Structure formats: C-alpha cells, structure tokens
Structure 1
Amino acid sequence: MQKLWILCGLCLLTSCKRLTFQKDKTRELIEQEMQNIDWNDVDQYPLFENCDETASKMEQKQCFENTLLSHFSSTMQEFEFKLDAEINDTVNVDFLIDKTGSISVLEIKKNPALEAQIPEFNGIIAQCLNSLPPVAPAIKRGIPVNARFRIPIVLNSD
C-alpha cells in the first residue's frame, strides 16, 4: 500500500511539471504572435454605408477616403469666411474613429495667423466631422478597434 502512495505521489509531481511546461509554451507562442502583429495597420478600414465590405482593402480605403473628403468638401463650402489677409495654408486635422464608430477630433494643427482670422475654425471642423454619415469601425483580426486618421485641408483664399 505504501508503494502505491509513493507511486501516486510521483505521478502527481510529474504531471504538475508537465502543466507548467504547457503554460510556458503557450505564453511563448502568444508573445511570438503578438510580435508578428502589425499594430499600425488594420484588416478592414472604417466603412460608410456606401462602401462595400467585401471589396479589397485598397478599395475600402479609397471608398472611405473619397466619402470623407467629399463630405468635408461639401460641408466646408457651405461656410463663408471673411478674411483680412490672403491665406494659403494647410491645416492637419487628426481624428479618431473608436471601436463603436464614434468620431472625435484629437488635434487641429494650424497656423496661428489662421486662428486670428478665423477663430471659429475648430468648431467648423468639429461640426464637419460630427455630421458625417454613420461609420462602422476599423477591424483588426475580427475585432473592432480604434483608428486614428489625419486629413490635410488646403486653404486658399484666391
């Protein structure tokens, strides 16, 4: 009977070592997979209703950009700006489309002279982004993710 208890104890100790080996191997595989993921790229771009989700990644990107820029262009043309001096500048608008599809302005990089002439410019940009049609979030490995974008807006008073 004593030999049976010793044999059970040895089997128990051996099986525990095997479990820790499996944990280490799994952890190593996960770390290796995490290093292989390109975190700066998404599998599917955010999509508007008029974009085809079965299209190629490049076509999705073009549809997203075209819809975004045409909306921005048409919305910006509705506003009339009164300027004291001629403006020929580029404004960079950084915004985020979160994993629920909500859009928020992160930063607007512009010339201080533009701020002096058009103090309401930030509000107009925020209004343009908030009036976008509903957008589905970007997808990475089957999971909705946050995606940050930058729109360059060329302002020319000619």
Structure 2
Amino acid sequence: MKRLCIVLVSLSLFSCHFFESKEKRTQELIDSELREIDWNSIDTYPLFLDCDETATKEQQRQCFEQRITAHFEETLNEFEFIVDSEDNPTVAVIFVIDADGEIDILEIEKDRYILKQMPEFDGIVTQSLKTVPEITPALKRGIPVSTKFRIPIQLNTK
C-alpha cells in the first residue's frame, strides 16, 4: 500500500513537470514565431470590392492605389480650389484603414498658406474619405489588421 502511494505521488509530481515543460516549450515556440513575423508588412492589401483578392500583392497594391486615387479625383474635382501660388502645392493625407475596413484620418499635411487660402480643405478631404466605397481590411497571416497610408494630392494652380 505504501509503495502504491509513493508511486502515485511520484507520478503526479513528474506529470506536473511534464505538462509544465510542454507548456514552456509551446510558449517558447510561440515567442519564436512572433519574433520572426515582419510586423512592418502585410500579406494582402486592403481591397475594394472590384479588386481581385487572388491577385499578387503588387497587383493588389496597384488596384487599391488606383481606386483610392480615382475616388479622390472624382470627389475633389467637384470643388474649385483657388490657390495663389507659383507652383502646384502638394498636400498629404495620412489615414488608417482599421481591421474593420473603416477609415480614420490621422493628419492632413499642408502649408500654412493653403490653410489660409482654403480653410474648408480639411473638411472636404474628410468628407471625401467618408464616401469611399466599401473596403476589406489588409490581412496579416489571415487576420484583419490596421494599415496606415499616406496619399499625396497635388493642387493645380492657374
């Protein structure tokens, strides 16, 4: 009887260590995988419904850029912007497409003279992005992730 108790006690002690080391190995494997992931790149770009999700990553990028640029051109051409400048100033719109496919503007980079001459510009750009057609978010290892973009907009002067 004593031997049976000793055997059971020793088995239970060893089994705890067996599971603990298995958990530890699993955690080490997970940590190793996480270190190897390139967190600065995505596997697939955000896509509009008319972009091909089976296309190459480069083709997806081109489709996304073409559609977002076309949308900006279409919506911003409805407004007449008058800028008193000798060159065509460039404005940069920095935005995030979150894991749900929603767009949030982080910043609109522009010169002070554009702000003075067109105080309504930020509101127009914000409204333009609110009317973007549905976008599926970027994917990293099959999981939707947020992605940050910077789109330059060149204002034509007359």
CA distance in 2, matches of 1:5, 1:80: 89
Contact 1:96 1:105 in 2 (8 A): yes
Is residue 123 of structure 1 aligned with residue 123 of structure 2?
yes
CA distance in 2, matches of 1:70, 1:96: 18
Contact 2:84 2:157 in 1 (8 A): no
After superposition, the C-alpha distances for 1:34-81 in whole angstroms (9 at most, x for unaligned) are: 011111111111110110111111111100000111111121111012
Is residue 100 of structure 1 aligned with residue 100 of structure 2?
yes
* CA deviation after TM superposition for structure 1 residue 13, in Å: 0.6
Is residue 82 of structure 1 aligned with residue 82 of structure 2?
yes
| Aligned pairs, number | 158
Give TM-score, length-normalised by structure 1. Answer: 0.95
Q: Which residue of 2 aligns with 1:43?
A: 43
Q: Which residue of 1 aligns with 2:150?
A: 150
Q: Which residue of 1 aligns with 2:10?
A: 10
Equivalent position SS for 1:78: coil
CA distance in 2, matches of 1:83, 1:94: 21
After superposition, the C-alpha distances for 1:127-157 in whole angstroms (9 at most, x for unaligned) are: 1111111111111111111111110112231
CA distance in 2, matches of 1:145, 1:62: 19
Runs (5+) with no aligned partner, structure 2: none
1:101 aligned partner, one-letter code: G
> How much is the aligned-residue C-alpha RMSD, in angstroms?
1.2
CA distance in 2, matches of 1:40, 1:91: 25
CA distance in 1, matches of 2:121, 2:87: 13
1:132 aligned partner, one-letter code: V
Equivalent position SS for 1:88: coil
Aligned-pair identity in percent equals 49
1:62 aligned partner, one-letter code: Q
2:124 aligned partner, one-letter code: I
Indicate how the Cα distance of structure 1 residues 57 and 84 shifts in structure 2: closer, same or farther if over 3 A, else same: closer
Contact 1:44 1:60 in 2 (8 A): yes
Contact 2:82 2:157 in 1 (8 A): no
Q: Which residue of 2 aligns with 1:62?
A: 62
